[in-house]
């Protein structure tokens, strides 16, 4: 008996003593994975590579339009980002545009991790050409990420090795635009230096189909980088990125692209699906084989639902009209004879843009009949009052944006269905898209040859190569049937025409928001936008009245040229870079004005 008790006591003590055993409580194997395992399997490494472009600035919509002078959001009176943008002067903490600082650096770290560790790859079931393509991707996305950082912040931290977990960040240096631009171009050159084999699925190609990175887009990035770095906002005295340098790089880019069968899209629409070649291009379905569309350099495969999200209230299933084109944009469309409507040097006589300063040379424009005889791109981009609803049988239904019309201008502050400015977006919208026939709308292009032409024209104009500037602007104009620019313009006059051309050609293509910044003209463009209230008199005549949306609070302030860094990041770096430990002695990374 006694033995049994002793055994019990012993057993009990054992239970108490057991924890000293080292394996105790060790969790079962679980899904927590050590990063070093990534080099052991093909699937792992390829998954890692697949993440490095996640933060790329790839747009499948046009989110910036209502944050610049292209449009006024229909959500301007209800709690929304736009309402804040129009009414609040932001500070670094409240600024609402997503700069991507965190997400991009997260990708940059992965890229650095990949490039410095890929020699550890221990699996063999991968072809050398695919491994090389992984490198291309890493360099390519690194360039694209830095371009985005340069564009938004005007500065970046360039690193090629990951920081240690115990890093103090006391010696980290910011790079300026020139340095970043050099790095971007060298990274792109590394990517372009890779061998190209048109038959392999793993090489960096000229023509990989829609929505995939390609050599053409690498050239676009190089050209854009040079043009941005030369633009007034980014250029600093002594930088090698002069307009002349940008001109050369852009020239080379266009040579490369045209040598690889890139051409402006010039197919006329069939069966009245569109007004002209321009809007037809924007509603066309994906042409992966590039049999007809040789203009798109980086396209989208996913299409927009314009009729739902940016639609007309008469379309069944419309949720919102989204954003409403401004009168300022409408005023940019020349008359069909190639004369601007307003004096481009000073388009408006008052601050609020209510009194237009008409171009005295224009004979076709009639303020009582403002939508007649305009640039064909106007009809393909905007639904205006009395615009035909359908291109087939255009007289059957008209879009009435006058007060009380079938798509009448909105009087109710919270309604999202009707326009706020008197206009709706037509670009990308195929008129037959609706609930019954389904979505047949078009897509935003991230890069197309016309942009390269106008980029080149701008660089050429600025660098004094006016002939090239004329030629390439005219190429874009000719495609839509607009006459050539008049000969003999001065550099200043030509610059205004090219900028206006950009604004018209690339409406709702995400370029304007960046353009007004790099040209440093936000003080003239960003504070005031107007709409057109049209009333129908008893005799059936329309009365046109421009009206203002009030001031977009302080949006012309120079601080809005660049995005702010998060206040926290700035405070941390002040502390980290301070030799004394006192933040006031550290380096201030914040952009001016924030």
Partner 1 sequence: MRIRYKITLALILLAAGFINAAAQGEAVIITLQGKVLDEFGNPIYNALIVSENEANQYITNPDGSYDFQIRDHSNYITITNPGYHNKIVLISEILDGHNVITMESDAQFEDELVDLVHHKMRKNLLTGSVSYVKSRELQSTPTYRLQEAYMGRILGLGSLERDANPSMFDESIYWSIRGDHSPSSVQAPTLMVDGIRYEGYDGHIFTYFNPREVESVTVIRDAATNALYGILGGNGIISITTRRGQQGEPRITVAYDHGWRGMDTDRYHSFSAFKHAMLRNESCLNDGLKPVFSEQQLKYYYNPAVDGNCEYGNAKYEGPENGIWPSNDYYDQFLKRYQTEDKLYLSIGGGSEYVQYMCNFQWMHTGALFNQPEYSGMNYTMNPGSANYFHVASNLDSKLNYFISATFTLRGDFKIENGLGSCPNDRMRVRYEDMIKHVMVAAPTITSLYAPEGAMVDGRDISYKPIFSENSTMGGQIWGLGYKVNPYAELTHGGKTTKYATFVHMDAKVNLDFDMITPGLGGQLGFSFKGGGDKDIDWTISYTMYKANDPSNTTFKQDGAEYDTNGYSKYYSFCYSYEYFGKLEYMRQFGDHFVQAVAMGNHRELASRDIGGGSYQTIPYRSEIFGLNALYAYKDKYLVNGTLGFSGSDEFPMNNRFFFTPGVGLGWVVSKEDFLKGNGFLTYLKLRGSYGRAARGSFSSYRFAYKDNVTSSTWDQGRMGNPSLEPEFVNGMDAGLDLTLFNCLNFSGSIFKEKMNNAYIDATTYVPTFQGISLSNYPGSNTGKFENHGYELSVEFRKQFTKNFTFWAGASTWFNDNTVLEIGERPNNIDYGSPDAYAQEYYTQGFSRGRICGYEFDVPEGETWRLADGSINPHILFQSQEEIDNCGLDYTQMGTVRPGDFKYKDLTGDGTINYKDQIVYKYSTIPRQYFNAHLGFRFKRFEVSALFYGVSKYYRPIGDAFFLGYLNDGFYCDLHENCWTAERAANGDYIKGPALSMTSTSSHGTNMYNVADGTFLKLKNAEIAYTLPEKLSRKMYAQDIRIALQGQNLVTWDRMPSKYIDPETGYLGVWQPMRVWNIALNVTF
* Residues in 154-183 that interact with partner 1 by CB under 8 A: 157, 162-163, 165, 167-169
- The DSSP secondary structure of 389-435, one letter per residue, reads S-SSSTTS-EE--STTSTTPPP-STT--SS-SSS-EE-TT--TT-BT
Question: Contact at 8 Å (CB) between 278 and 377?
Answer: yes
State the nearest-atom distance from the C-beta of 88 to partner 1, in Å: 5
Q: Is 504 helix (H, G, I), strand (E, B) or coil?
A: helix
Going by the DSSP 8-state scheme, the letter that residue 267 receives in this structure is P
Does the footprint of partner 1 cover residue 523 (CB under 8 A)?
Answer: no
Query: In this structure, what token pair is assigned to residue 133?
Result: 């393509």
Query: In this structure, what token pair is assigned to residue 288?
Result: 């992966």
Other Cβ atoms less than 10 A from the Cβ of 568: the count is 10
Number of residues that bind partner 1 (CB under 8 A): 85
Q: Residues near 75 by Cβ (< 8 Å), separated by ≥ 6?
A: 81, 82, 83, 320, 416
- The DSSP secondary structure of 293-320, one letter per residue, reads --SEEE--SSPP-HHHHS--TTSTT---
Burial of 503 (0-12, 13-18, 19+ CB in 10 A): buried
CB nearer to partner 1: pick between 28 and 368:
28
When binding is defined by CB under 8 A, the residue of 126, 264, 489, 553 that contacts partner 1 is 553
When binding is defined by CB under 8 A, the residue of 237, 395, 467, 584 that contacts partner 1 is 584
State the nearest-atom distance from the C-beta of 3 to partner 1, in Å: 11
Q: Residues near 2 by Cβ (< 8 Å), separated by ≥ 6?
A: none
State the nearest-atom distance from the C-beta of 34 to partner 1, in Å: 6
Q: Closest Cα partner for 158 from 187, 136, 132?
A: 187
CB nearer to partner 1: pick between 87 and 200:
87
H or E segment to which residue 149 belongs:
helix 128-153
State the nearest-atom distance from the C-beta of 131 to partner 1, in Å: 16
Interaction with partner 1 in 45-64: which residues (CB under 8 A)?
A: 45, 47-48, 50-51
CB nearer to partner 1: pick between 266 and 437:
437
When binding is defined by CB under 8 A, the residue of 22, 291, 396, 490 that contacts partner 1 is 22
State the nearest-atom distance from the C-beta of 523 to partner 1, in Å: 17
State the nearest-atom distance from the C-beta of 144 to partner 1, in Å: 16
- The DSSP secondary structure of 49-73, one letter per residue, reads HHHTTTT----SS-TTGGGTTTEEE
Does the footprint of partner 1 cover residue 271 (CB under 8 A)?
Answer: no
Q: Closest Cα partner for 368 from 352, 381, 386, 343?
A: 386
Does the footprint of partner 1 cover residue 91 (CB under 8 A)?
Answer: yes
When binding is defined by CB under 8 A, the residue of 63, 64, 68, 84 that contacts partner 1 is 84
Question: Contact at 8 Å (CB) between 454 and 476?
Answer: yes
CB nearer to partner 1: pick between 162 and 475:
162
When binding is defined by CB under 8 A, the residue of 40, 42, 78, 193 that contacts partner 1 is 78
State the nearest-atom distance from the C-beta of 182 to partner 1, in Å: 19
CB nearer to partner 1: pick between 44 and 358:
44
When binding is defined by CB under 8 A, the residue of 62, 101, 144, 219 that contacts partner 1 is 101
Question: Contact at 8 Å (CB) between 548 and 354?
Answer: yes
Q: Where are the beta strands (DSSP E) in 146-234?
A: none
State the nearest-atom distance from the C-beta of 575 to partner 1, in Å: 6
CB nearer to partner 1: pick between 110 and 473:
110
Does the footprint of partner 1 cover residue 18 (CB under 8 A)?
Answer: yes
CB nearer to partner 1: pick between 27 and 488:
27
Does the footprint of partner 1 cover residue 30 (CB under 8 A)?
Answer: yes
Which span sits near partner 1 by CB under 8 A: 22-30, 214-222, 229-237, 467-475?
22-30
Does the footprint of partner 1 cover residue 202 (CB under 8 A)?
Answer: no
CB nearer to partner 1: pick between 48 and 329:
48
Which span sits near partner 1 by CB under 8 A: 16-24, 239-247, 448-456, 505-513?
16-24
Does the footprint of partner 1 cover residue 587 (CB under 8 A)?
Answer: no
Does the footprint of partner 1 cover residue 583 (CB under 8 A)?
Answer: yes
CB nearer to partner 1: pick between 101 and 262:
101
CB nearer to partner 1: pick between 45 and 421:
45
Interaction with partner 1 in 309-348: which residues (CB under 8 A)?
A: 316-317, 319
CB nearer to partner 1: pick between 51 and 373:
51
Characterize the bridge pairing of strands 398-399 and 528-536: unpaired
Q: Closest Cα partner for 516 from 26, 5, 64?
A: 64
HSE-CB of 366 using CA atoms within 13 angstroms: 8
Which span sits near partner 1 by CB under 8 A: 6-14, 264-272, 322-330, 520-528?
6-14
Residue 298 phi, psi dihedral angles, 5° rounding: -130, 110
Q: Residues near 161 by Cβ (< 8 Å), separated by ≥ 6?
A: 112, 116
State the nearest-atom distance from the C-beta of 85 to partner 1, in Å: 11
When binding is defined by CB under 8 A, the residue of 129, 135, 287, 569 that contacts partner 1 is 569
The conformational region for residue 264 under phi > 0 = left, psi -120 to 50 = alpha, else beta, is beta
C-alpha 552/C-alpha 536 separation (Å) is: 30
Interaction with partner 1 in 469-508: which residues (CB under 8 A)?
A: none
Interaction with partner 1 in 105-164: which residues (CB under 8 A)?
A: 105-110, 112-113, 157, 162-163
Burial of 61 (0-12, 13-18, 19+ CB in 10 A): middle
First to last CA, the chain: 84
HSE-CB of 246 using CA atoms within 13 angstroms: 31
Residues written for the chain: 594
Does the footprint of partner 1 cover residue 24 (CB under 8 A)?
Answer: yes
State the nearest-atom distance from the C-beta of 513 to partner 1, in Å: 21
Interaction with partner 1 in 388-427: which residues (CB under 8 A)?
A: 411-416
CB nearer to partner 1: pick between 61 and 576:
576
Which span sits near partner 1 by CB under 8 A: 4-12, 225-233, 275-283, 420-428?
4-12
């Amino acid at each position: 008996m006694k033995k049994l008790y002793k055994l019990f006591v012993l057993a009990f003590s054992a239970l108490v003593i057991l924890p000293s055993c080292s394996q105790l409580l060790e969790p079962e194997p679980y899904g927590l994975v050590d990063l070093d395992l990534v080099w052991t399997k093909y699937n792992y490494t390829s998954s890692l590579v697949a993440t490095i472009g996640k933060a790329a600035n790839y747009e499948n919509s046009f989110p910036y339009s209502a944050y610049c002078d292209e449009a006024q959001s229909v959500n301007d009176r209800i709690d929304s980002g736009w309402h804040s943008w129009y009414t609040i002067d932001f500070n670094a903490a409240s600024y609402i545009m997503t700069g991507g600082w965190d997400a991009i650096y997260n990708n940059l770290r992965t890229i650095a991790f990949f490039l410095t560790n890929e020699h550890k790859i221990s699996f063999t079931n991968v072809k050398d050409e695919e491994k090389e393509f992984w490198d291309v991707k890493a360099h390519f996305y690194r360039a694209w990420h830095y371009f985005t950082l340069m564009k938004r912040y005007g500065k970046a931290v360039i690193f090629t090795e990951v920081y240690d977990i115990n890093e103090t960040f006391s010696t980290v240096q910011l790079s300026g635009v020139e340095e970043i631009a050099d790095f971007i171009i060298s990274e792109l050159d590394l990517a372009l230096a890779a061998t190209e084999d048109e038959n392999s699925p793993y090489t960096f190609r000229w023509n990989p189909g829609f929505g995939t990175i390609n050599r053409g887009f690498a050239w676009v990035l190089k050209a854009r980088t040079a043009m941005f770095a030369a633009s007034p906002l980014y250029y600093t005295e002594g930088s090698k990125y002069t307009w002349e340098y940008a001109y050369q790089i852009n020239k080379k880019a266009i040579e490369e692209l045209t040598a690889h069968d890139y051409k402006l899209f010039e197919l006329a629409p069939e069966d009245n699906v569109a007004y002209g070649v321009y809007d037809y291009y924007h509603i066309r379905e994906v042409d992966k084989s590039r049999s007809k569309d040789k203009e798109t350099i980086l396209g989208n495969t996913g299409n927009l639902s314009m009729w739902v999200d940016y639609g007309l209230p008469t379309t069944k299933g419309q949720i919102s009209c989204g954003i409403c084109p401004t009168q300022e944009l409408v005023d940019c469309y020349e008359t069909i004879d190639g004369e601007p409507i307003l004096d481009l040097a000073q388009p408006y006589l008052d601050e609020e843009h209510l009194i237009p300063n008409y171009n005295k040379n224009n004979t076709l424009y009639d303020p009582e009949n403002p939508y007649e005889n305009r640039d064909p791109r106007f009809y393909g981009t905007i639904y205006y009052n009395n615009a035909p609803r359908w291109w087939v049988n255009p007289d059957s239904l008209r879009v009435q944006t006058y007060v009380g019309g079938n798509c009448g201008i909105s009087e109710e502050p919270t309604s999202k269905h009707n326009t706020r400015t008197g206009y709706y977006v037509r670009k990308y919208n195929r008129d037959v898209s609706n609930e019954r026939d389904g979505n047949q709308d078009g897509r935003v292009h991230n890069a197309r040859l016309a942009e390269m032409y106008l980029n080149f024209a701008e660089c050429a104009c600025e660098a004094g190569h006016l002939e090239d500037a004329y030629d390439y602007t005219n190429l874009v104009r000719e495609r839509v049937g607009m006459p050539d620019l008049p000969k003999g313009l001065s550099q200043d006059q030509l610059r205004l025409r090219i900028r206006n051309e950009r604004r018209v050609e690339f409406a709702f293509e995400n370029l304007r928001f960046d353009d007004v910044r790099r040209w440093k003209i936000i003080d003239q463009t960003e504070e005031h936008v107007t709409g057109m209230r049209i009333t129908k008199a008893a005799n059936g005549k329309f009365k046109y009245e421009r009206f203002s949306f009030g001031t977009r609070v302080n949006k012309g302030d120079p601080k809005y040229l660049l995005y702010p860094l998060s206040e926290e990041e700035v405070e941390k770096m002040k502390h980290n870079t301070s030799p004394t430990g006192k933040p006031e002695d550290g380096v201030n990374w914040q952009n001016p004005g924030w």
